[in-house]
Structure 1
Amino acid sequence: MRKIENYVMGQWVACNGVEYVARNAVTGEVIGEVSSAGLDYAEILEYGRRVGGPALRAMTFRERGQMLKNLALYLTERKEIFYELSYATGATRADSWIDIEGGIGNLFSYASLRRQFPDKPYHVDGQTVNLSKGGTFIGHHIMVPRRGVAVHINAFNFPVWGMLEKIAVNLLAGVPAVVKPSEYTSYLTELVVRHIIDSAILPEGSLQLVTGLGRGILDHVRNQDVVTFTGSAATGKKLKALPHIVEESIPFNLEADSLNASVLGTTVKPDDPEFEIFIKEIHREITVKAGQKCTAVRRIIVPEHLVEPVERALADRLRSTRIGNPKAEGVRMGALAAHIQVDRLKKNLEILAREQEVVFDGSKELQLVEADPSRGAFVQPIIFRNNNPFKNTAVHEVEPFGPVSTIMPYKTLEEAVALVGLGKGSLVTSIITNDDKEATHFTLEAAHLNGRILVLNRRCAKESTGHGSPMPMLTHGGPGRAGGGEEMGGVRGVMHYLQRTAIQGHPDTITEITQIYQPGASRPEAEPHLFRQYFEDLKVGDTVYTHKHTVTEADIVNFANVSGDNFYAHMDATSLEGTLFERRVAHGYFILSKAAGLFVDPKKGPVLLNYGIEECRFTKPVYPGTTIGVKLTVKEKISQEKRSPDDIARGIVKFYVDVYDDTGESVAVATILTMVKKRNQS
């Protein structure tokens, strides 16, 4: 029988013994034996720290992001191989799309974030903090990769997405990973990892895989490591409370299955588009992945006068759903991912049935398509109704992890919020309403109970990603029962794998450490002019000191004529009483424009274009007769990759523009962004 192997310390390992026999969720046929018995987790984690960590930390954010992009492209070319095996998890093609291409999409998303980080192995965070009167002592923050490993313990329902959405973040941060998927579906994770390893895109040691139970994998984590867990709240809390996890202050992100809700707004009528949107969304959450999503809707919260219309409409839609072999034509819902999940679900259904009425039982109304219920892990959709959800509270405590949900009534929007709160914290709640005031009230009252709130209506439904779809650039997690954790979230997610450290010192020192010019640092005069230098030749801190210009009333009038800006403070000296100005003041944008005229070297050279301004401030009024000059300083350099072999090799240079007056005080400061050609075009 085939062994589902582990990839550890640079090799594929088939462990002795059998911890789990993986079976096809549709046919019951054996796929392989799973075991991680005997693995030396202390050595595995140390291998990641010793081999993978240094290799990733030697790369810049830009290089790590390009690595993720290359991996995403590589896996996309092979996705059909993954789809074919994914059917064995009971997933339909649409289900697998979420898992496989959704996971690959996370790689693409995090690859794109490379442009929001510096072309360095570390990140400079926030703004300079002045710590002294004379400006010779300042502070800043840098963020460096943690020198440990990310241990990801993932759930069975998304064997591909669960891995890729997490490693995309830690790899961009420069931290290696050890992934332990659920043994139930680890055979699909193993297949994807085999292709990742074969690609040789990731440095060795940056990704290891444990396919079995992984008992003892957390016994050897240390304070530089990060642990993430996705699964049941009970198991996650036990692991999070392990003594050495607490003792070592190890970051532990818990994302637990929660009792998510969807609320139909009070203003919705049965013939409104929102009513149909609501029914479609609930139906999708029940049938996609056979309801096996941590974000699935478990509680359907409806105005009391709409309970019966919702019940009828939802039942009608479920009756039209083809359920069975996910390879069969037209099948919309497949099986649970493993036979053991059927037994667990049945136990929870028994608990819920004691307090609630079954209003739709698919097992009595629907026939499986091309599937044998005695061999596959099939469960038909079940809808309960709870007429007194404030008294019969099992629905707020027990999660049936399958195609099951409960309809419950509410009288006021405050009651709806209270019902949401009885779940003690959710990953997501949606409200379907076209009344923006109602949406605002609900969102502000329920936000503290949720990691995400989706507002759906006719204006956004067509393009909405849906209740159950966490997005890479938004945070995923939730308070209370949902685990109290947070992952993804774009740049925010990357920060979880970085150590933020405050640094203090002289501006020259902080400039050298950050490779970003800090106000107060030395400004050696550039030779030749900065606009005559290629990207490689520019040095942070080098400065052009310009000629000076005395501002006149004619300047102000001419700029007003050209720009059309006739604001009274510039044009009407009789209207200045009660203002901050003593007399007519020059336009701030004239000052900035004149500064450009002073610092620009007009001849053709390495500077290709100016494409933006950041952090522009006008700090002091400039009156006619004031003489201004400019200090143009190289603030930061960011290399760019070539988009094609014929593309111009270039980088982005941020120049710090300091416009000062005849007293030496700054009157305007700005950061301009220029694209500068590289000397080396290879």
Structure 2
Amino acid sequence: MQQLASFLSGVWQSGRGRERTIHHAISGEALWSVTSEGLDMAAARRYAITHGGEALHAMTFIERAAMLKAVAKHLLSLKETFYALSAQTGATKADSWVDIEGGIGTLFTYASLGSRELPDDTLWPEDELIPLSKEGGFAARHVLTSKSGVAVHINAFNFPCWGMLEKLAPTWLAGMPAIIKPATATAQVTQAMVKAIVESGLVPDGAISLICGGAGDLLDHLDSQDVVTFTGSASTGQTLRVHPNIVANAIPFTMEADSLNCCVLGEDVTPEQPEFALFIREVVREMTAKAGQKCTAIRRIIVPQHQIDAVSQALIARLEKVVVGDPAQEGVKMGSLVNSEQRADVQEKVDQLVAAGCQVRLGGKADLQAAGAFYPPTLLFCPQPDETPAVHATEAFGPVATLMPYRHADHAMQLARAGGGSLAGTLVTADPALARQFISGAARAHGRIQILNEESAKESTGHGSPLPQLVHGGPGRAGGGEELGGLRAVKHYMQRTAIQGSPTMLAAIGKQWVRGATVQEDRVHPFRKYFEELQPGDSLLTPRRTLTEADIVNFACLSGDHFYAHMDKIGAAESIFWRAGGTRLLPDFRCRRAVC
């Protein structure tokens, strides 16, 4: 058994004190010992800020995006190493693909977003000029700048790679260093990826740190320039949210917690429709992927009361075919839970649901003495969801979901909201009006909702898949936080400041010319300057000239731009940008001054 080291203050180091053991999820073999006791968390934070923070602040957004891309390519070349370690956690190859290559894909996405949409600067002008005076001499603009602290990421056990990378990407793009604190149960997978990043030399010294074990007194040393994110159980997150130092210093705290996500079968769907089969497939996939250990997994199956038997029979038929076992063996479709402690927790929660009035229709019992942390796909039925609050509050974090009936569309929305806030929800329907009604009534309790039907199913990414372009988070029990969502995520690690002044001053600060700012002219035509020589406000004032159709044709031949609105009289006449009914191919405005 090896000790799992942490990477703090630029060196690999091991703690000394009470240790926890990481076991192989399938065999039960003891693999790693973990402790962070005795490690200097205050020094680790200072090092990350003074080394990693300063280096990242000096890089432009474009340079940071290039760094993300380089890291992603490097990790992709080493993916088989991560797959081998991921197998120790009970994950199938498909489960590991989502975690490993899905996480790397998120790095690529943010690299692309940064290089395409952010300025080649360290300061980000967020909006257009906001006039504040009658004559235009006083205006404002919001800008985003990097915080001077460190981002502390406390992550869950179920996605040791994706969970780290989906936070690292916007953190680094924003110019902040990160301290990663993975869940101990799967920390060996995270450590391998961090080690690969460190050894690559692709990121500045101090840009990434790793704590294997407890966070110790790290939160005591943070201040208002730091950021804390948490992914995990709602109860743990609620405890961290009210940490005295976080409260006292108003430290930004983003929480993404497990939730009682639902999948709703529309009233319009019958067993003969393709949407019915899609519903069954979606529920079974979300129950069994990662052995149900997903914060977005479907926990509540909400169907019309007259469809209960048909849905129950179809689900049982599909779930009985799921082969549970060692993912290394051919034919296995679902692996184990992460460890025996998690198996015991799932069994306890299932027993609580049964005691509250739910009925077991499939599974429901595991051999708690077996070496492998296996738990069977389990389908429960709650006949009275309005009178059973436990079914909307108790989550068995495994391959477990509860079937429940609804009477009408409003009742379905009421049940969907009863979870107290969810990360994700799905409505399966072929009726656009029903979809609109559901969104109007249920969206306020969800971070993301998928409308699934035959038309979208072929290309759907699925109920449980967070995408880097879309927000990931939810209200209430789901944590009230927000991750991903494209460039929205980057802003969580930056400070927004409203800057007031003259347009000329605002142009200088943002390195972007704005209307009302002064311009400068010289004898060199702007088109004859190299890109590096151009400055915001460089201007060229030309004599008035009436453009003719011959000018347009000549320019098109010179430039190769034969776009129809420029060259075709009929197309131009029909365009809203051109003088209605006219025959000229010219817009109804004049431009004599070009400003860079």
* Structures share fold, TM-score greater than 0.5: yes
Which structure dedicates a bigger proportion of its chain to helix? 2
Q: Residue 390 of structure 2 aligns with which residue?
A: 394
Quote how far apart the aligned CAs of 1:326 are: 1.0
Q: Summarize deviations over 1:105-138 as a string: whole Å, max 9, x none.
A: 1111111111110011121111101122222222
Q: Residue 198 of structure 1 aligns with which residue?
A: 199
Distance, in Å, in 2 between the alignment partners of 1:27 and 1:447 is 43
Quote how far apart the aligned CAs of 1:321 are: 0.9
Q: Give 2:6's aligned amino acid.
A: N
In structure 2, the CA distance between the partners of 1:553 and 1:65, relative to structure 1 (3 Å rule), is: closer
Q: Give 1:116's aligned amino acid.
A: E
Distance, in Å, in 2 between the alignment partners of 1:255 and 1:147 is 24
In structure 2, the CA distance between the partners of 1:570 and 1:186, relative to structure 1 (3 Å rule), is: closer
1:450 to 446, 450, 470: 446
Q: Residue 532 of structure 1 aligns with which residue?
A: 528
Q: Residue 183 of structure 2 aligns with which residue?
A: 182
1:596-611 alignment, distance < 5 Å:
none
Q: Give 2:473's aligned amino acid.
A: G
Distance, in Å, in 2 between the alignment partners of 1:554 and 1:29 is 82
Q: Summarize deviations over 1:437-484 as a string: whole Å, max 9, x none.
A: 111111121100100001111111111110110101100000000010
Q: Summarize deviations over 1:145-189 as a string: whole Å, max 9, x none.
A: 111111000011111111111101101111110000001110111
In structure 2, the CA distance between the partners of 1:544 and 1:328, relative to structure 1 (3 Å rule), is: same
Quote how far apart the aligned CAs of 1:550 are: 5.0
Distance, in Å, in 1 between the alignment partners of 2:245 and 2:390 is 34
Contact 1:19/1:213, CA 8 A, preserved across alignment: no
Q: Residue 308 of structure 1 aligns with which residue?
A: 309
Q: Give 2:176's aligned amino acid.
A: V
Q: Which has the higher contact order (CA 8 A, sep 6+)?
A: 2
> What TM-score do you get using the length of structure 2 for normalisation?
0.94
Q: Residue 484 of structure 1 aligns with which residue?
A: 480
Q: Residue 331 of structure 1 aligns with which residue?
A: 332
Distance, in Å, in 2 between the alignment partners of 1:482 and 1:554 is 63
Q: Give 1:359's aligned amino acid.
A: R
Q: Summarize deviations over 1:480-530 as a string: whole Å, max 9, x none.
A: 000100011111111111111111112221111110002122211143111
Quote how far apart the aligned CAs of 1:565 are: 3.8
Contact 2:219/2:245, CA 8 A, preserved across alignment: no
> What TM-score do you get using the length of structure 1 for normalisation?
0.82
Q: Residue 159 of structure 2 aligns with which residue?
A: 158
Quote how far apart the aligned CAs of 1:320 are: 0.9
1:539-578 alignment, distance < 5 Å:
539-549=535-545, 562-566=569-573, 570=579
* Residue 592 of structure 2 is aligned to residue 633 of structure 1: no
Q: Give 2:488's aligned amino acid.
A: R
Q: Residue 519 of structure 2 aligns with which residue?
A: 523
Which structure dedicates a bigger proportion of its chain to strand? 1
Q: Summarize deviations over 1:22-81 as a string: whole Å, max 9, x none.
A: 000100011110011011111111111111111001111111011111111101011011
Q: Residue 4 of structure 1 aligns with which residue?
A: 4
Which SS does the other structure have where 2:219 is aligned?
A: coil
Distance, in Å, in 1 between the alignment partners of 2:12 and 2:580 is 77
1:65-76 alignment, distance < 5 Å:
65-76=65-76
* Residue 436 of structure 2 is aligned to residue 440 of structure 1: yes
In structure 2, the CA distance between the partners of 1:507 and 1:270, relative to structure 1 (3 Å rule), is: same
In structure 2, the CA distance between the partners of 1:529 and 1:421, relative to structure 1 (3 Å rule), is: same
Distance, in Å, in 2 between the alignment partners of 1:342 and 1:450 is 28
Distance, in Å, in 1 between the alignment partners of 2:321 and 2:591 is 75
In structure 2, the CA distance between the partners of 1:432 and 1:525, relative to structure 1 (3 Å rule), is: same
Q: Summarize deviations over 1:205-256 as a string: whole Å, max 9, x none.
A: 0100001022322111110000000111111111111222111111100111
Contact 1:25/1:336, CA 8 A, preserved across alignment: yes
Q: Residue 497 of structure 2 aligns with which residue?
A: 501
1:228-377 alignment, distance < 5 Å:
228-354=229-355, 355-361=357-363, 374-377=370-373
Q: Give 1:100's aligned amino acid.
A: I
Q: Summarize deviations over 1:594-626 as a string: whole Å, max 9, x none.
A: xxxxxxxxxxxxxxxxxxxxxxxxxxx76xxxx
Gaps of 5+ in 2: 553-564
Distance, in Å, in 2 between the alignment partners of 1:484 and 1:561 is 53
Quote how far apart the aligned CAs of 1:363 are: 5.5
Q: Residue 680 of structure 1 aligns with which residue?
A: none
Q: CA RMSD in A?
A: 2.2
In structure 2, the CA distance between the partners of 1:148 and 1:554, relative to structure 1 (3 Å rule), is: closer
Q: Residue 49 of structure 2 aligns with which residue?
A: 49
Task: Provide the identity percentage.
Answer: 46
Quote how far apart the aligned CAs of 1:562 are: 3.2
Contact 2:573/2:583, CA 8 A, preserved across alignment: no
Contact 1:20/1:184, CA 8 A, preserved across alignment: no
Distance, in Å, in 1 between the alignment partners of 2:517 and 2:186 is 56
Which SS does the other structure have where 1:141 is aligned?
A: strand
Distance, in Å, in 1 between the alignment partners of 2:251 and 2:313 is 50
1:72-83 alignment, distance < 5 Å:
72-83=72-83
Q: Give 1:387's aligned amino acid.
A: P
Distance, in Å, in 2 between the alignment partners of 1:21 and 1:247 is 35
Contact 1:256/1:482, CA 8 A, preserved across alignment: yes
Which SS does the other structure have where 1:126 is aligned?
A: coil
Distance, in Å, in 2 between the alignment partners of 1:86 and 1:95 is 9
Quote how far apart the aligned CAs of 1:17 are: 2.5
Distance, in Å, in 1 between the alignment partners of 2:31 and 2:205 is 28
Which SS does the other structure have where 1:144 is aligned?
A: strand
Which SS does the other structure have where 1:430 is aligned?
A: strand
Distance, in Å, in 1 between the alignment partners of 2:416 and 2:515 is 50
Contact 1:547/1:629, CA 8 A, preserved across alignment: no
Q: Residue 581 of structure 1 aligns with which residue?
A: none
Q: Give 1:38's aligned amino acid.
A: G
Q: Give 1:358's aligned amino acid.
A: V
Contact 1:549/1:629, CA 8 A, preserved across alignment: no
Quote how far apart the aligned CAs of 1:312 are: 0.7
Contact 2:569/2:583, CA 8 A, preserved across alignment: no
Which SS does the other structure have where 2:141 is aligned?
A: strand
Q: Residue 113 of structure 2 aligns with which residue?
A: 113
Contact 1:546/1:629, CA 8 A, preserved across alignment: no
Number of residue pairs the alignment of both structures matches: 580
Moved more, 499-508 or 66-75: 499-508
Contact 1:259/1:423, CA 8 A, preserved across alignment: yes
In structure 2, the CA distance between the partners of 1:298 and 1:528, relative to structure 1 (3 Å rule), is: same
Q: Residue 384 of structure 1 aligns with which residue?
A: 380
Which SS does the other structure have where 1:428 is aligned?
A: strand
Which SS does the other structure have where 2:387 is aligned?
A: coil
Q: Give 2:26's aligned amino acid.
A: V
Which SS does the other structure have where 2:180 is aligned?
A: strand
Contact 1:544/1:631, CA 8 A, preserved across alignment: yes
> Which protein is bigger by CA-based radius of gyration?
1
Distance, in Å, in 2 between the alignment partners of 1:219 and 1:474 is 33
In structure 2, the CA distance between the partners of 1:550 and 1:31, relative to structure 1 (3 Å rule), is: same
Q: Residue 219 of structure 1 aligns with which residue?
A: 220
Distance, in Å, in 2 between the alignment partners of 1:73 and 1:193 is 14
* Residue 500 of structure 2 is aligned to residue 474 of structure 1: no
